[in-house]
Amino acid sequence: MKVRATQAIMECLLEQEVDTVFGYPGGTILNLYDELYHYQDKIHHVLTAHEQGAAHAADGYARSTGKVGVCFATSGPGATNLTTGIATAYMDSSPVVFITCNVSEGLLGKDSFQEVDITGIAMPITKATYLVRDPQTIPDVMRQAFAVAATGRPGPVLIDFLKNVTFLNTMIDYEFIPWDQNRGTDSIRQLAVSHGLKAPEPDLGDIDTLVEMIAQSERPLLICGGGVVRGRADRQFRTFAENLDAPVAITVMGGGGFPGAHPLTTGMIGMHGSQASNVACNECDLLIAVGCRFSDRVALQPDTFASQAKIVHIDIDRSEIDKNVLTDHHIVGSAKRVLELLNQRLPQYQHTEWKEHILPLREKQPVEHGTDRLTPGQILDAIQQAAPQGSIVATDVGQHQMWSIQHFHFDYPGQLLTSGGFGTMGFGLGAAIGAKVGNPDKVVIHTTGDGCFRMNCHELATVEHYHLPIITVVFNNGTLGMVRQWQHLIYQEHYSETTLDRGPDFVKLAEAYGLKGRRVTNRAEMEQALQEALSCGCGYVIDCQVDMDEMVRPMVAGGAHITDFLLK
């Protein structure tokens, strides 16, 4: 069948069951938007205030729904504005397909208006980039891009169409093939043949070796990493942990992979990890890390990390093995499949003595009561009590991020949206928008700091326009809290350029965007504000006045031994 090239692009999106895209139009992508006009009843387009917001929204949509996010942007500045969002998705292995258009063939490489080599720029921060110069290749490229983004270790992919490829009089051959069928067709066969792809299966010998290692271990520890979340292997992981009867430490990206309130949880591990997790890591004799890449925020000192243990690494990405921490054994495979195979072979273990040693170390920091000032603990406690269990939490980056992750219990993959790898300030609001669009029935809470919020607060316009009742909780301490904390502890209290004694008034800002807001200074006000926010049906900004010297505890300095707590 002959269709317009742009029509093929839209149909390819429908093949992948895409019903929502985020984006921002511009000169070179006009043809695509013209086609979108005809498809507006099938594909819902969310127009953000800035391309970065669109990128984060597509990312948040992908993380919270498990589907592939899609984001449109125009050439030049439109494309470069995406880059922070692309890098954020790449570092956290989030499947997003970014579609940009570039200038026409004849103008390519001539420093034309709004021209930039975005495929070159995006190369280091994507799984793959495609520059489409021939309209006939559109179906192949689109199918490949989605397959690459969603499978293996997921990640962002960028497709750059030259403008002449999308001209409305360009006709190409096209046939609609649903995604689960087109993975077996010629379009992707090239990829399949070249990489010898068959039904993948972890090496059974490797699995048996691990089963044996487990049998010999007395003090096993599990780490639940982002791979459990991305691979939606939470059920398998839980069975595994319960069979093994071992404590489970959770990384920032692993939040939601294992129930936060489960009796085996020791909480977060690493720089701001709980004492239970960090001590367990130091004293265990077998460490099994699932879908975790031992980043410098977890394995602070790679040489001494879990020095008494045999380290076993389960990951889908072979290049992560022995990258940051040298391991004793590894299994390459998807978390889900590896854990399924392990569960089939594992008897029920009891590690009572070891558990009794480790689990009591986990004590929650008490929430102050009866004070007239508002502490971070009180804010989070109030949210936890007011918001329904299972609410999605999107965070920005910094102190409030660590507090949120330490305090809340995440029960399912996609419940916590946070920029763990790239640490992108300004990620939260975009991600919350994406999450709310993808999960209209869930309450979405966006926790942020005053520094982060200011970076992308213009997305409140999007929140208002699409009637997204997102609750933004600003931990307003008038400073870049996390940086200040470092300056306090390591830089002799030289608070260089971290004090944010400036506008705007976040309540008035919310009102200016047509939303509601309230400033709170104590717990009672906080509770009232939350009730109002949950019932008002529109976006709501709660400006929480917090002391600027609040700190994230515990803390281990970067590069230090994992149990050398700088702060307890």
Partner 1 sequence: MNKTFDPEKKLYTLSLLVQDIPGVLSQVARLFSRKGYNIESIVSGETSQPGLTRITIVILGDELMVNQITAQCRKLIPVQVVKILDEETSIQREFAMIKVRAEDRAARDEVIQMANIFRANIIDVSRETLTVAIFGDKSKTSALIRLLSDFGILEMAKTGTLAIERGLSSIYDDSKLRTEYNYGKNVL
Partner 2 sequence: MKQTISVLVENQAGALNRITGLFSRRAFNIESLAVGVTDDPTISRITIIVDSGNSVVEQVEKQLNKLMEVIKVRTLEENALIGRELMLLKVNANNKTRQDIMTICEIMGAKVTDISPTSLTLELSDTPDRLDTFQSMMRPFSILEVARTGMVAVQKGAGKI
Partner from partner 1, partner 2, none contacting 109, C-beta within 5 to 8 A by type: partner 2
For the bound state, the minimum distance from the C-beta of residue 226 to partner 1, rounded and expressed in Å, comes to: 15
For the bound state, the minimum distance from the C-beta of residue 330 to partner 1, rounded and expressed in Å, comes to: 9
Partner from partner 1, partner 2, none contacting 197, C-beta within 5 to 8 A by type: partner 1
Considering beta carbons, is residue 9 or 325 the nearer one to partner 1?
325
Element (H, E) at 207: helix 204-216
Catalytic residue (one of 11, 15, 51, 320): 51
The 8-class DSSP code of residue 41 comes to T
DSSP 491-503: STT--TT-B----
Residue 166, phi then psi, degrees to nearest 5: -95, 5
How close are the terminal C-alpha atoms of the chain, in Å?
A: 67
Among positions 77, 120, 184, 200, the unique one binding partner 2 when judged by CB under 8 A:
120
Q: Which of 66, 65, 82 is nearest to 126 (CA)?
A: 82
How many residues belong to the site for partner 1 (CB under 8 A)?
41
Considering beta carbons, is residue 102 or 395 the nearer one to partner 2?
102
Among positions 2, 37, 110, 372, the unique one binding partner 2 when judged by CB under 8 A:
110
Catalytic residue (one of 1, 17, 42, 113): 113
Element (H, E) at 289: strand 286-290
Q: Kindly state whether residue 154 participates in binding partner 1, applying the rule CB under 8 A.
A: no
Q: Kindly state whether residue 117 participates in binding partner 2, applying the rule CB under 8 A.
A: yes
Q: Kindly state whether residue 113 participates in binding partner 2, applying the rule CB under 8 A.
A: no
For the bound state, the minimum distance from the C-beta of residue 529 to partner 1, rounded and expressed in Å, comes to: 46
How many residues belong to the site for partner 2 (CB under 8 A)?
8
Quick check: is 163 catalytic?
yes
Q: Kindly state whether residue 328 participates in binding partner 1, applying the rule CB under 8 A.
A: yes
Q: Kindly state whether residue 334 participates in binding partner 2, applying the rule CB under 8 A.
A: no
- Report the greatest alpha carbon distance in the chain: 73
Please give the residues from 464 up to 523 whose contact with partner 1 meets the rule CB under 8 A. none
Q: E strands of 243-387, at which residues? A: 248-250, 265-268, 286-290, 310-315, 329-332
Tell me the per-residue interface mask from 87 to 126 with partner 1, x by CB under 8 A, - otherwise: --------------------------------xx--xx--
Quick check: is 384 catalytic?
no
Please give the residues from 286 up to 305 whose contact with partner 1 meets the rule CB under 8 A. none
Angle (deg, nearest 10), helices 399-407 and 376-386: 50
For the bound state, the minimum distance from the C-beta of residue 135 to partner 1, rounded and expressed in Å, comes to: 17
Among positions 44, 67, 133, 553, the unique one binding partner 2 when judged by CB under 8 A:
133
Considering beta carbons, is residue 114 or 521 the nearer one to partner 2?
114
Quick check: is 114 catalytic?
yes
Residue 103, phi then psi, degrees to nearest 5: -65, 170
Q: Kindly state whether residue 136 participates in binding partner 2, applying the rule CB under 8 A.
A: no
Among positions 311, 417, 463, 515, the unique one binding partner 1 when judged by CB under 8 A:
311
In sequence order, the 6+-apart residues with CB closer than 8 A to the CB of 361 are 266, 274, 275, 276, 279, 280
Catalytic residue (one of 127, 163, 310, 355): 163
Q: Kindly state whether residue 327 participates in binding partner 2, applying the rule CB under 8 A.
A: no
Q: How far from the centroid of its chain's Cα atoms is residue 96's Cα? A: 11
For the bound state, the minimum distance from the C-beta of residue 334 to partner 1, rounded and expressed in Å, comes to: 8
**What is the Cβ-side half-sphere exposure of residue 441, based on CA atoms within 13 angstroms?**
3
Considering beta carbons, is residue 121 or 489 the nearer one to partner 2?
121
Q: E strands of 18-168, at which residues? A: 20-23, 44-47, 69-73, 96-102, 128-132, 157-162
CB atoms within 10 A of CB 1: 10
For the bound state, the minimum distance from the C-beta of residue 121 to partner 1, rounded and expressed in Å, comes to: 11
Contact indicator for 391, 444 with CB cutoff of 8 Å: yes
Q: Kindly state whether residue 364 participates in binding partner 1, applying the rule CB under 8 A.
A: no
Task: Report d(CA 56, CA 422) in Å as an integer.
Answer: 12
**Choices 107-115, 151-159, 248-256, 263-271; region in contact with partner 1 by CB under 8 A:** 151-159
Partner from partner 1, partner 2, none contacting 108, C-beta within 5 to 8 A by type: partner 2
Percentages of the chain per state (helix, strand, coil), in multiples of 5: 40, 20, 40
In sequence order, the 6+-apart residues with CB closer than 8 A to the CB of 275 are 361, 362, 554, 565, 568
CB atoms within 10 A of CB 239: 15
Quick check: is 1 catalytic?
no
Task: Report d(CA 202, CA 269) in Å as an integer.
Answer: 27
Considering beta carbons, is residue 206 or 459 the nearer one to partner 1?
206
Task: Report d(CA 36, CA 146) in Å as an integer.
Answer: 19
Residue numbers at the binding site for partner 2 (CB under 8 A): 108-110, 117, 119-120, 131, 133
Catalytic residues: 51, 113-114, 163, 482
